[in-house]
């Protein structure tokens, strides 16, 4: 049974990014009923727009719990959604097969001379000097007065305009900068799936061969992302045809990649994300979070150890560039240097994509989708003519420079809220009425005045706790006395004070420690070898100076945690003696040998690390993965 219901939610941008997406801070503004998708969005948005106008004027004498009454104002600042929804909000045509797929710039799509489907190849000038439509409101105003109707439709097709959006009545919105592209749908749900299929990941359609030249592949024509054959950024498009590409991985190697990923579930801690599922058979059901872990954590270490053909290396290096773009753009804090690097990376990625997957061949033009074009809108734009200010953020900038990091306005909260609404339906004969009643009740409960909980598990520390401190779980206390080696490590890490001697009796041992909020690090002692589903959380990384005084990054495993009196907590660790960095692929390979036990203050731990072990070859290769950004300078 197909039923379409469209929620409209509001997020309070005054709240920190980690708080604004909490359930109690999300406001359900509208629930557009089904069973089919709405035909006139403006009709359903009219009550919301009128209320926002009133909030823009202000509501006087609004009561406050701790301060005098005040005038409350609110303004709609931006809109976040996938490609088709954003086009609908702006009053534009859906971008999938439109001659004008992007309302943010004057870019025009083109056909490959065979069918009527439009694609988005770019010229070098379009990549180097991206432009932005600064007068979109005026374009719509000019389009509205065109007569006769067929002339208006003709210009509407050229401009990508289908109607004047009701949101243009709100002066707080900038068209088009207040409608940023969503990184979740653009990269995770579209570009990654496209790359996966170009690499032969759709095994049902694969030719069953490895890396060859002039390989002909015709994947399914259903498009990607949605069950109806449309892409997340809009439109129904044919899938990928890949003649003359050298990036196809054989079925056997895809199976080996999936085997290694599945075996890594127990060696990657929960803190580092969802455990890998089989990429060869389960990729169609991957959620956005799983694609994120595949991009940022799993793909490069696993594939680089399986596919050793040098002709595949440029494709993998290009993939690393997409990983870097995603990591930088979704950080909650982005420096000006990182923004400048993002500008270079987006330009390099789109240019290299054309070189690898397009090759200026009309038969490969279908590999250039609108999602590729969207990446150019993460870039800075050059200053407008006559613009004299040199501040980076004063340029006529693209979305990141204008609205802040993409992690603050991507569609994850909406997708999670949709999942909540799906779980509410329990009356199929009246889905819309049933859903509306239950959603309203949920909103009432979410926004009731909150009181501190009567009971809070002691093992879950609050955000305001004084970190680090040991786990309050009694099972995480090591009741045995420390060994001489462990005691020696703790004595070397702590100050020597005759009044407070560090002895077997004064040292308390712990199996797990809370380093930060929601960051609990385990040890060898906390691992249960009989629990096959348990994920190892005892591996860490840290930075310190070596014997020559140079900064160096270490990777190792925690043996046990110890505390004496109220002094700093100590982690007894063993580090890998051999560490190799691949700067091009940004991977870390460690040797099989670990050094002797040594002390490390818990507050000096950089973070947790996981392991991806490739058992193939003469000797097993261990890759370290973690939440670090880039590799340390050597």
Q: Is the dihedral of CA 223, 227, 230, 236 positive or negative?
A: positive
What pLDDT was estimated at residue 25? 87
- What is the number of structural domains in the chain? 3
What is the pLDDT at residue 427? 86
* pLDDT higher than 70, residue 493: yes
Strand 621-626 relative to strand 587-590, pairing: antiparallel
Within-domain flag for 35: yes
If you average pLDDT over every residue of the chain, what do you get? 84
Confidence of residue 398 (pLDDT cuts 50, 70, 90): low
Is residue 106 domain-resident? yes
pLDDT tier at 633 (50, 70, 90 boundaries)?
Answer: low
For 65-106, what is each residue's pLDDT tens digit? 778 888 989 999 999 998 899 999 999 988 878 889 999 888
In terms of domains, do 139 and 19 share one? yes
Answer with the residue of higher pLDDT: 238 or 527: 527
Picking from 185-194, 372-381, 392-401, 475-484, which range would have the lowest pLDDT averaged per residue? Answer: 392-401
User: Does the pLDDT value for residue 474 go beyond 90?
Assistant: no
- Is the pLDDT at 226 greater than 80, yes or no? no
Per residue in 20-29, pLDDT (tens digit) is: 888 888 899 9
What is the rounded average pLDDT of the residues 418-443?
89
Same domain? For 172 and 198 the reply is no
**Does residue 174 sit in the same domain as residue 189?**
no
Query: Which pLDDT tens digit goes with each residue over 13-60?
Result: 888 887 888 888 889 999 999 899 888 999 999 999 999 999 999 988
For the chain, give the percent of residues with pLDDT over 70. Answer: 85
Assigned domain for 458 exists = no
Task: Kindly state whether residue 457 falls inside one of the protein's structural domains.
Answer: no
pLDDT at 221: 30
Task: Examine the pLDDT at 367 and tell me if it is beyond 70.
Answer: yes
Q: What is the mean pLDDT of residues 237-248?
A: 58
* pLDDT for the residue 548: 80
Tens digit of each residue's pLDDT (9 = 90 or more) over 433-447: 999 999 999 888 888
Domain that holds residue 132: 6-178+424-446
Decide: 490 and 507 in contact? Cβ < 8 Å: yes
pLDDT digits (tens, 9 = 90+) for 568-593: 899 999 999 999 999 999 999 999 99
pLDDT attached to residue 207: 46
pTM: 0.87
Residue 452 counted as domain residue = no
**According to the model, what pLDDT value does residue 462 have?**
61
Check whether 229 has a pLDDT greater than 80: no
Residue-level pLDDT at 253: 94
Asked if residue 340 has pLDDT above 60, the reply is: yes
| Residue 368 shares a structural domain with residue 436 | no
Note whether 511 and 243 are within 8 A (CB).
no
* Number of CB atoms found within 10 A of residue 57's CB: 9
Residue 313 lies in a domain: yes
Does 192 reside within a domain?
yes
Mean pLDDT of 171-196: 91
Residue 306 zone, left/alpha/beta (φ > 0; ψ -120 to 50; rest): alpha
27 and 11 both lie in a single domain: yes
Q: Identify whether 326 is preceded by a cis peptide bond (ω within 30 of 0).
A: no
Q: Are residues 203 and 289 in the same domain?
A: yes
Q: Are residues 362 and 332 in the same domain?
A: yes
Structure confidence at residue 56 (pLDDT): 92
Residue 170 CA to residue 121 CA, distance in Å, equals 34
Within a domain: residue 289? yes
**Mean pLDDT over residues 394-403, rounded?**
55
SS3 632: coil
Asked whether residue 239 carries a pLDDT value surpassing 50, the answer given is no
Give how far Cα 463 sits from Cα of 25, 134, 451, 453, 514, Å. 17, 43, 17, 15, 11
**Mean pLDDT in residue range 307-318:** 93
Phi, psi of 105 (to 5 degrees): -150, 170
- The number of beta carbons lying within 10 Å of the beta carbon of residue 268 is 27
200 and 79 housed in the same domain: no
Tell me what pLDDT residue 230 has.
41
- What's the mean pLDDT in 324-329? 91
* 364 and 396 assigned to the same domain: yes
pLDDT digits (tens, 9 = 90+) for 500-514: 889 898 999 999 988
Quote the pLDDT of residue 217.
27
pLDDT band at 297 (very low <50, low <70, confident <90, very high): very high
pLDDT in tens, 123-134: 999 998 877 887
Residue 359 and residue 228 share a domain: yes
Q: Looking at residue 453, what is its pLDDT?
A: 58
Report the pLDDT averaged over residues 546-567: 89
Q: What is the DSSP letter of 474?
A: G
For the four alpha carbons of 165, 167, 171 and 172, in that order, the dihedral sign comes to negative
Among 415, 446, 477, identify where a domain stops.
446
Contact 559, 525 (CB under 8 A): yes
Q: Which residue has the higher pLDDT, 625 or 528?
A: 625
Listed range (193-202, 294-303, 523-532, 598-607) with the worst mean pLDDT? 523-532
The answer to whether residues 169 and 196 belong to one domain is no
Q: What Rg do the C-alpha atoms of the chain give, in angstroms?
A: 28
pLDDT tens digit sequence for 140-178: 999 999 989 899 999 998 999 999 999 999 999 989 889
Range scoring the smallest mean pLDDT among 221-225, 309-313, 557-561: 221-225
Are both 439 and 475 inside the same structural domain? no
């Amino acid at each position: 049974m197909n039923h379409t219901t469209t929620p409209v939610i509001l997020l309070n941008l005054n709240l920190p990014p980690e708080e604004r997406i909490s359930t109690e801070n999300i406001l359900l503004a509208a629930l557009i009923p089904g069973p089919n998708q709405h035909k006139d969005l403006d009709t359903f948005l009219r009550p919301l727009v009128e209320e926002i106008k009133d909030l823009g004027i202000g509501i006087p004498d609004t009561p406050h719990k701790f301060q005098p009454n005040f005038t409350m104002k609110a303004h709609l600042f931006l809109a976040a959604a996938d490609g088709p929804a954003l086009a609908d909000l702006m009053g534009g045509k859906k971008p999938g097969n439109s001659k004008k797929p992007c309302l943010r710039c004057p870019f025009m799509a083109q056909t490959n001379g065979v069918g009527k489907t439009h694609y988005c190849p770019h010229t070098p000038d379009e990549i180097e000097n991206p432009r932005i439509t600064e007068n979109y409101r005026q374009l719509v105003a000019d389009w509205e007065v065109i007569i006769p109707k067929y002339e208006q439709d003709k210009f509407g097709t050229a401009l990508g305009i289908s109607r004047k959006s009701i949101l243009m009545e709100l002066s707080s919105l900038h068209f088009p900068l207040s409608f940023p592209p969503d990184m979740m749908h653009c990269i995770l749900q579209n570009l990654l799936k496209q790359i996966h299929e170009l690499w032969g990941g759709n095994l049902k359609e694969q030719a069953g061969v490895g890396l060859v030249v002039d390989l002909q592949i015709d994947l399914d024509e259903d498009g990607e992302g949605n069950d109806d054959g449309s892409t997340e950024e809009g439109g129904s498009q044919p899938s990928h045809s890949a003649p003359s590409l050298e990036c196809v991985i054989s079925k056997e190697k895809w199976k080996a990649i999936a085997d290694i990923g599945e075996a890594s579930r127990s060696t990657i801690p929960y803190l580092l994300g969802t455990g890998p599922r089989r990429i060869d058979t389960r990729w169609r059901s991957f959620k956005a979070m799983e694609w994120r872990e595949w991009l940022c954590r799993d793909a490069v270490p696993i594939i680089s150890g399986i596919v050793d053909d040098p002709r595949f290396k440029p494709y993998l290096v290009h993939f690393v560039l997409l990983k870097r773009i995603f990591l930088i753009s979704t950080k909650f804090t982005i420096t000006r240097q990182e923004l400048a690097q993002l500008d270079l990376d987006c330009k390099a990625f789109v240019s290299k994509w054309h070189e690898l997957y397009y090759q200026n061949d009309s038969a490969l033009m279908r590999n250039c989708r609108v999602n590729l074009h969207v990446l150019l809108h993460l870039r800075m734009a050059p200053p407008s003519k006559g613009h004299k200010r040199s501040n980076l953020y004063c340029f006529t900038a693209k979305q990141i420079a204008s609205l802040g990091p993409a992690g603050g306005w991507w569609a994850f909260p909406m997708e999670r809220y949709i999942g909540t609404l799906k779980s509410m339906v329990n009356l199929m004969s009246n889905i819309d009425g049933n859903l509306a009643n239950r959603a309203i009740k949920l909103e009432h409960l979410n926004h009731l005045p909150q009181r501190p909980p009567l009971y809070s598990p002691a093992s879950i520390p609050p955000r305001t706790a004084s970190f680090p401190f040991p786990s309050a779980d009694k099972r995480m206390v090591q009741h045995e006395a420390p060994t001489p080696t462990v005691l020696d490590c703790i004595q070397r890490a702590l100050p020597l004070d005759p009044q407070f001697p560090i002895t077997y009796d004064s040292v308390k041992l712990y199996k797990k420690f809370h380093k930060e909020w929601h960051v609990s690090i385990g040890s060898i002692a906390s691992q249960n070898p009989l629990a096959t589903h348990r994920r190892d959380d005892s591996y860490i990384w840290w930075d310190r100076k070596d014997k020559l005084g140079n900064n160096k990054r270490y990777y190792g495993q925690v043996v046990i945690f110890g505390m004496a009196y109220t002094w700093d907590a100590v982690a007894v660790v063993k580090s890998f003696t051999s560490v190799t960095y691949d700067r091009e692929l940004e991977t870390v390979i460690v040797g099989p040998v670990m050094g002797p036990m040594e002390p490390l203050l818990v507050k000096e731990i950089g973070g947790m690390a996981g392991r991806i072990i490739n058992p193939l070859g003469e000797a097993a290769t261990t890759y370290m993965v973690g939440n670090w950004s880039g590799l340390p300078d050597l």
